[in-house]
Amino acid sequence: MIKVGIVGGTGYTGVELLRLLANHPEVSLEVITSRSEAGMPVSDLFPNLRGHVNIAFSEPDPDILAQCDVVFFATPHTVAMALVPELIKRNTRVIDLSADFRLKDLAVWEQWYNTQHTCPELFEQAVYGLPELNRDKIKDAQLVAVPGCYPTATELGFLPLLEAGLIDPLHLIADAKTGVSGAGRKAAIPMLMAETSGSFKAYGVSGHRHLPEIREVLSQHCQQEVDLTFIPHLAPMVRGIHATLYARLTTHDVNLQKVFEERYANEPFVDVMPIGSMPETRSVQGSNICRIAVHQPQNSDTVVVLSVIDNLVKGASGQAIHNMNIMFGLDEKTGINVIAMMP
Ligand SMILES: NC(=O)C1=CN([C@@H]2O[C@H](COP(=O)(O)OP(=O)(O)OC[C@H]3O[C@@H](n4cnc5c(N)ncnc54)[C@H](OP(=O)(O)O)[C@@H]3O)[C@@H](O)[C@H]2O)C=CC1
Ligand SMILES: CC(=O)N[C@@H](CCC(=O)OP(=O)(O)O)C(=O)O
């Protein structure tokens, strides 16, 4: 059994990790930390876990965490970088759901996260945990940075087009919408039901921290400069991301549906939907699937890709477990082959 620890077990990604790992046949949950709830049985806070998770929250203690084979960080940005060096030194593998290790350009990271990075060496070594891109590197990684939720939906949508050289890489547009769970479990007035329900708004228009992540990952992978306009929106729903992606085609002589189907033919968690489909966020709710549909409205030179994920699963905890399965040589679907909930 793989001995697993979780730092930050009381947030939404933490409880989602617990929901999925509690049913994972190769995992033994050893430690779940929370400073505010230390001592409380996990299932007292999360009744969905009654009968499945029988341990209590504890304070984060590096000596105890280092006894695990792998530790997930489901903590706000900058928490992981303080604890990870000690764990890596003691041969515990780390899967970080925060943004502490997602970029490769340190100056860009420090600019967007407005702080100095405390372990630049590990920053360089970390593997970006998008399995559809980096499966081979993930296998041997000591430290995996799980992609952001918007970047997951956006990168998977643009990748087939960029890899095949079919679009102008400098003028991409990602118009993306998320549910309120993306903001985490903390109390915040803009996330109150009275503020969000029955309303819809853009935010972060002048710049969102996922912009440099998407730009860097796509540019590095495609070995050419990629640039985009990325506008996030808050939708009145709890879970889900819907990204509507636009790009200008540089050729007309191509079967776009076939390009997508071939790119993702062997990917267990990307579903390329039939021609004409319009994927709904509820069709991935609770599942680790990214559903994608490619369109060319009025046969114009604009390609439109619709990409939906559950921000807490494929956009965070499910993808984190997918990485763990690859790192430990398991069948990639183990524990995360969950069917979405409709409605
Ligand atoms: N919500 C989402 O859709 C997604 C979130 N993410 C990322 O995952 C991470 C967690 O997100 P989410 O679950 O929403 O966050 P929450 O804010 O809901 O939870 C944060 C957790 O971290 C713990 N924590 C906070 N500060 C510290 C600290 N200094 N040391 C140790 N533990 C700490 C908290 O427990 P306590 O304070 O009791 O110790 C709590 O359990 C974030 O980095 C987020 O950006 C990634 C993709 C999607
Ligand atoms: C509604 C809301 O606030 N959503 C979050 C989603 C990002 C997130 O969850 O953070 P990661 O960088 O770890 O993916 C935001 O826009 O900041």
3 state DSSP class of 171: coil
182 lines ligand 2 (CB under 6 A): yes
Q: Of 68, 119, 149, 290, which one is the catalytic site residue?
A: 149
Whether residue 253 sits in one domain with residue 124: no
pLDDT of residue 156: 98
Cβ neighbors of 168 (< 8 A, separation 6 or more) are 247, 248, 250
* Structure confidence at residue 308 as a pLDDT band (50, 70, 90): very high
Whether residue 158 sits in one domain with residue 302: yes
The predicted-structure confidence for 201-214, as pLDDT tens digits, reads as follows 999 999 999 999 99
Whether residue 177 sits in one domain with residue 50: no
The predicted-structure confidence for 112-158, as pLDDT tens digits, reads as follows 999 999 999 999 999 999 999 999 999 999 999 999 999 999 999 99
Whether residue 58 sits in one domain with residue 38: yes
CB crowding 310-327: b at 16 or more within 10 Å, else e = bbbbbbbbbbbbbbbbbb
Judge whether 149 counts as a catalytic residue: yes
Task: Kindly give the number of the ligand 2 atom that is closest to the alpha carbon of 316.
Answer: 14
148 lines ligand 2 (CB under 6 A): yes
Q: For a substitution probing ligand 1, which of 13, 115, 234 has the most ligand atoms within 8 Å of its CB?
A: 13
Tell me, what's the ipTM? 0.96
Q: What is the mean pLDDT of the chain?
A: 97
Instruction: Say how many Å lie between the CA of residue 60 and the centre of ligand 1.
Output: 13
Average pLDDT over residues 26-46: 97
Among 291, 323, 317, CA closest to 133: 323
Ligand found nearest the CA of 179: 2
Say if residue 329's pLDDT is above 90: yes
CA 13 to chain centre: 10
Does the pTM surpass 0.95? The reply is yes
Whether residue 182 sits in one domain with residue 264: yes
Whether residue 104 sits in one domain with residue 117: yes
Instruction: Identify the domain containing residue 295 by its residue range.
Output: 150-310
Average pLDDT over residues 241-246: 98
**How far, in Å, CA of 317 to CA of 152, rounded?**
12
pLDDT of residue 252: 86
Whether residue 306 sits in one domain with residue 159: yes
Number of domains in the chain: 2
